[in-house]
A = this chain, B = another copy of it.
Amino acid sequence: MSILTDTARERMVRAKDASRQVGLLTDAAKAALLDAIAARIEADTADIVAANAEDLARGRADGLSAGLLDRLALDEARVHALAVAVRDVARLPDPVGRVLDERTLLNGIRLQKVSVPFGVVGSIYEARPNVTVDIAALALRAGNAVVLRGGSAASGTNAALVRAMRGALAGAGVDPEAIQTVDDFGRDGARELMQARGLVDVLVPRGSAQLIETVVTESQVPVIETGAGVVHVVLDSSAPLEWARDIVVNGKVQRPSVCNAVETVLVLRDAADRLIPPVAAALQEAGVTIHGDAAVQALVAGVVPATDADWATEHMSLDLSMRVVDDLDEALDHIRTYSTHHTESIVTADEARAERFLAEVDSAVVMANASTRFTDGGQFGFGAEVGISTQKLHARGPMGLPELTSTKWLARGTGQIRP
């Protein structure tokens, strides 16, 4: 069937059919398949870079920002890096077939709970062609088919990458329909993907807070919500200055545009005089603009007055909100009001307060005396990261390959019936 005459739904039906074959592949077969994909991406480098050049030219004509154009751009080195990442995923342990629970009932029935592929994983994301390869490789490694909907700005690049990956599947004797794109249907493709209950088993949006919000509210397919991080660091009364300064500066400056970067620092009043001047000086030296409340403004020159909106803002830039709170209760109240439940950290020498913070803060990752930048699948030792879940269902925090699997119960009996 020509790619030009079918519908988005037909493609998803074919992905579902292909998922049966992919779901039964052995560990070795899946690893070999990913190696074949990596090789084919490298072999197709010229095609991919040429398609990308057209996307870039269109993006420049459409006035895309320099940041977006940089995310969109693929040169030979970046294509090579994509292939290397696929080979890394190939080397990860198979998440399918793990026995998660096992019990023999009194009547002799042997029960096993085993990990199985979801079936079909969908992803809606923005103009980053690396996500196309990344999600497809992770989904396949976990035995799933995948349906992709990338941003229109990268549609030519994505098509070239999907062509390469499908070619590798066909070459390995695997149904190429296991990788689908619905990019060419524009917004309708995204809409059909969100309505594909029964064909698509889980949808992972990746991109802006706006995109994720749209998918979470509109999708009838179960969603794993990733993303937005209004991340807090609390500097407790007893916080050692060096830890406080290092953790705040590292959390804000090391990579300001990512979701685990610090957005708001809350300082306990009885430590404000001791901690705020040196921490603020280190931040300002690193080029950070501090948005502070009146107490912070009184201690530091060059502070922008914080507005209510600042507390709810994920700056994604060298801007940081800072507030003095009366005590740990007020800090916890502030976090409850403004946190996106991604990551929060307390800096303290008081173990009881650290444990209270760890117990009471309702976020995917809660830290004591560590940089929030550690909330990351790679840092956690997962080898790869599907995203960082900020929801409570199924997966929470950094997601590795096991989070791309479901489970089923197997029951082996010898004719048992229920009395």
Partner among B220, B354, B364, B391 whose Cβ is within 8 Å of the Cβ of A409: B364
A185 at the interface (CB under 8 A from B): no
Cα–Cα, bound, A278→B92 (Å): 52
Partner among B254, B396, B412 whose Cβ is within 8 Å of the Cβ of A368: B412
A324-349 to B contact mask, C-beta < 8 Å, 1/0: 00000000000000000000010100
Output the nearest chain B residue to A359 by Cβ-Cβ distance. B24
Take A220-B217, A369-B413 as given contacts and tell me if A103 and B381 are in contact as well, using a CB distance cutoff of 8 Å: yes
Output the nearest chain B residue to A367 by Cβ-Cβ distance. B411
A297 at the interface (CB under 8 A from B): no
Partner among B360, B367, B411 whose Cβ is within 8 Å of the Cβ of A413: B367
A79-115 to B contact mask, C-beta < 8 Å, 1/0: 0000000000000000000000001010001010100
A65 at the interface (CB under 8 A from B): no
- Contact between chains at A366 and B410 (CB < 8 Å): yes
Residues A354-400 near B (CB distance < 8 A)? 354, 358-360, 362-371, 373-375, 379-381, 391-394, 396-398
Take A222-B222, A362-B119, A393-B393 as given contacts and tell me if A416 and B374 are in contact as well, using a CB distance cutoff of 8 Å: yes
- Contact between chains at A247 and B374 (CB < 8 Å): no
Binds B, one of A238-246, A281-289, A301-309: A238-246
Cα–Cα, bound, A217→B394 (Å): 19
Cα–Cα, bound, A322→B367 (Å): 58
The interface residues of chain B lying within 8 Å CB-to-CB of A317 are none
Partner among B223, B254, B359, B406 whose Cβ is within 8 Å of the Cβ of A392: B406
A78 at the interface (CB under 8 A from B): no
The interface residues of chain B lying within 8 Å CB-to-CB of A210 are none
A197 at the interface (CB under 8 A from B): yes
Q: How many residues of A contact B (CB 8 A)?
A: 69
- Contact between chains at B371 and A417 (CB < 8 Å): yes
The interface residues of chain B lying within 8 Å CB-to-CB of A197 are 216-217
The interface residues of chain B lying within 8 Å CB-to-CB of A173 are none
A201 at the interface (CB under 8 A from B): yes
> How close is A250's CB to chain B, nearest CB, in angstroms?
4
The interface residues of chain B lying within 8 Å CB-to-CB of A247 are 415, 417
- Contact between chains at A371 and B240 (CB < 8 Å): no
Take A24-B359, A413-B370, A414-B369 as given contacts and tell me if A380 and B103 are in contact as well, using a CB distance cutoff of 8 Å: yes
- Contact between chains at B250 and A418 (CB < 8 Å): yes
- Contact between chains at A397 and B409 (CB < 8 Å): yes
- Contact between chains at B408 and A363 (CB < 8 Å): yes
A11 at the interface (CB under 8 A from B): no
Output the nearest chain B residue to A217 by Cβ-Cβ distance. B220
> How close is A218's CB to chain B, nearest CB, in angstroms?
9
Cα–Cα, bound, A2→B391 (Å): 33
A152 at the interface (CB under 8 A from B): no
Partner among B224, B375, B408, B416 whose Cβ is within 8 Å of the Cβ of A364: B408
> How close is A96's CB to chain B, nearest CB, in angstroms?
11
Output the nearest chain B residue to A411 by Cβ-Cβ distance. B367
A199 at the interface (CB under 8 A from B): no
A-B pairs with beta carbons under 8 Å apart, 7 shown: A118-B392, A201-B392, A217-B220, A243-B415, A370-B417, A375-B409, A394-B394
Return the 8 tightest CB-CB contacts between A and B, nearest first.
A370-B413, A250-B417, A392-B406, A243-B415, A394-B394, A373-B418, A367-B411, A222-B393
In the complex, given contacts A20-B360, A363-B408, A368-B412, what are 8 additional A-B residue pairs having Cβ atoms less than 8 angstroms apart? A24-B359, A113-B397, A222-B222, A368-B413, A370-B415, A370-B416, A374-B416, A396-B408
